[in-house]
Amino acid sequence: MSPPISNHLVRHADVIVIGAGLAGLTVALEVANERKVILLSKGDLNESASAWAQGGIVGVLDQKDSYDSHVRDTLEAGAGIVIESVARLISEKSQQAIQCLLHLGVKFTQDPLGPLGLHLTREGGHTHRRVIHAEDSTGKAIQEVLLAKAKQHCNIQIFEHCVAIDLILHKHLCGQASQDFQTSALNNRCYGVYALNILDHQVISITAQDVVIATGGVGKVYQHSTNPNSSTGDGIAMAWRAGCRVANMEFIQFHPTFLYHPQESGFLITEALRGEGAYLRLPNGHRFMGDHDPRLELAPRDIVTRAIDKEMKRYGLQYVLLDATHLGAEVLKERFPTILKCCLAFGIDMTKEAIPVVPSAHYTCGGVVTNVDGQTDVQHLFSVGESAYTGLHGANRLASNSLLECVVMGKQAAKKILEYPIEASQAQVKLWSDYVVDDDEKLKIALQKADLQTLMWHDVGIVRTTHQLERAHNRIELIKKEFHQFSKIPIDPQWIEFRNLLICAELIVLSALDRKESRGLHYIRDYATIFAQSSPTILKPNCWASIESLDYP
């Protein structure tokens, strides 16, 4: 059996940030000069999707480029349901975001002739070179700098290996027993978070004036994913349980080029490689993207992914080939040293041979509904980064817009948090009850998790049918019934994560069933050529109540 919970700890901060990726770190650093911050990291501080991002971050810097052009590209990639005002806001703040990162000390790849002395590259869906990068490990370069700043700041306390269990709501307060918290706007607020220290099994009740969800996406709901193991949709599920709306969960972006290896897990091959001129080929050498889209390898990701999926199914292939040999060894060594090194570790010399690749679940384009300041439907609860739905990505994310969104929306949320004075009183919350999870139940959870991931990969993947979605929904209902027979008090990390994965899987399937058309990343054979729903798919939990004072998209 798992070790019992030791003494329950109680902590307080002005701001709690759940997640230590780029979005969470941006908020923490922006508010820390005026607020005391507790930053929660579920795993190792370097284990975030931000740190794994290879390609780059968008910056409209070139005089030949324009905000209008970037917005048009974002709208085109998003297949008609991007909120244009949000895309414009984020685009127009891109130069400020890049300058902020430079000021913090991020070392981007240089080009003496480039704007701000930076090298710009181009990725799929972009009509200009506007992607700033640090060789081929941009996320790592940014993450390391921001983490170092956070560790040095006297007002930021970092809790590593702490997984959030649930948000603290009105019903968790001492002396206020009413459970009907959703009927009153005064009670519709977040007071903090319950968290579990994974290493010593301590539960911590952390109260704060403001809570920021920056937990990333839901990639690990799928059998094959480019995401770190921490991407289990924790923030989205917690916000849903707290009464927040979610939107566009059917739009899961599958990255076209993930290294295929029959014996070992691979890694993502950045889109920038295609941006520099790499070709997608069949094993017989045929460059097949010309059969699918005139933009060839630089078409938006949803188109490239479906093209690869179709070719693999047509010829019964396990992979296709990404060929960069014609770019030359010197270019590849200078521009893509990380990929070159990783491929060599798998016995592949990309300077001499093509790389076997397959699509893999990569990015969650939907999430918790927020306004342009990151505010959710629950007062004093914010969501930023991949866990949030701002309206920027629509039905398909434009490459490298995600890191830009993290910085811009992180700053927007921080600015809103700082607008309000610090409250003098602290909420008194109920303690989390002790409980022990049986090892037999942990084994059942592991088996059910594998079952869920396989189900989602086969029935709710790149190409779907209504029959598959209905079958997936029925199976998820059965898994839920089995799961609810387990322990009711989630103190084990596997329990916590699987509960969240189940919720997110159901949200994805329900959203997909609700959208009776093919659009962007949601390609369903029953409605392959029908465009009928020019609006986001918004799901409301049973306890949802709108906040009239906030202007939501």
Token couple for 265: 């897990």
Token couple for 310: 């179709």
Listed residue (290, 510, 518, 269) closest to 399, CA to CA: 269
The residues, any chain, with a CB within 8 Å of residue 406's CB and separated by 6 or more, are 21, 22, 23, 26, 50, 384, 385, 386
Q: Are strands 355-364 and 320-323 parallel, antiparallel or unpaired?
A: antiparallel
Contact 137/52 with Cβ under 8 angstroms? no
Write down the catalytic residue from 35, 301, 306, 515: 301
Q: Mean pLDDT lowest for which of 14-23, 138-147, 328-337, 522-531?
A: 522-531
CB atoms within 10 A of CB 353: 14
The beta strands (E) that lie in 366-423 are given as 367-369, 381-383, 388-389
Find tokens 């598959």 and name the residue. Answer: 468
Strand order in the sheet with 57-58: 57-58, 131-132, 120-121
Contact 192/16 with Cβ under 8 angstroms? yes
Q: How far apart are CA 144 and CA 171, in angstroms?
A: 39
Find tokens 């998003």 and name the residue. Answer: 78
Q: Residue 8: pLDDT above 90?
A: no
CA dihedral 123, 512, 464, 221 (to 10 degrees): 70
Q: How far apart are CA 282 and CA 290, in angstroms?
A: 12
pLDDT at 433 (0 to 100):
67
Q: Mean pLDDT lowest for which of 130-139, 246-255, 502-511?
A: 130-139
CB atoms within 10 A of CB 99: 13
pLDDT at 284 (0 to 100):
96
Nearest-Å Rg of the Cα atoms of the chain is 23
Q: Residue 189: pLDDT above 90?
A: yes
Mean pLDDT of the 275-288 span: 95
Cα distances (Å, whole numbers) of residue 288 to 313, 353, 462: 14, 18, 18
Q: How far apart are CA 201 and CA 440, in angstroms?
A: 18
The beta strands (E) that lie in 9-56 are given as 9-12, 15-18, 37-41
The residues, any chain, with a CB within 8 Å of residue 137's CB and separated by 6 or more, are 54, 338
Listed residue (513, 538, 210) closest to 370, CA to CA: 538
pLDDT at 44 (0 to 100):
79
Q: How far apart are CA 394 and CA 536, in angstroms?
A: 8
Cα distances (Å, whole numbers) of residue 191 to 211, 380, 390, 501: 8, 8, 23, 24
**Phi/psi of residue 471, each to 5°?**
-65, -40
Question: Please, how many CA atoms are within 13 Å of residue 451, restricted to the half-sphere of its CB?
Answer: 17
Q: Residue 182: pLDDT above 60?
A: no
Average pLDDT of the chain is 89
Cα distances (Å, whole numbers) of residue 79 to 301, 319, 415, 453, 516: 12, 27, 31, 27, 15
Which DSSP state fits 512?
H
Please say if 301 is a catalytic residue.
yes
Q: Are strands 538-539 and 246-247 parallel, antiparallel or unpaired?
A: antiparallel
Q: Write down all domains in the chain, each with its CATH number in brackets.
A: 9-250+365-417 (3.50.50.60), 252-361 (3.90.700.10)
419 backbone φψ class: left, alpha, beta (φ>0; ψ -120 to 50): alpha
Mean pLDDT of the 366-374 span: 97
Q: Residue 437: pLDDT above 70?
A: no
The per-residue pLDDT for range 197-237, each reduced to its tens digit, is: 998 888 999 999 999 999 999 999 998 888 888 899 999 99
Contact 522/364 with Cβ under 8 angstroms? no
The per-residue pLDDT for range 104-117, each reduced to its tens digit, is: 999 999 999 999 99
Token couple for 207: 């109260």
Token couple for 10: 């109680």
**pTM, entire model:** 0.90
Contact 476/452 with Cβ under 8 angstroms? yes
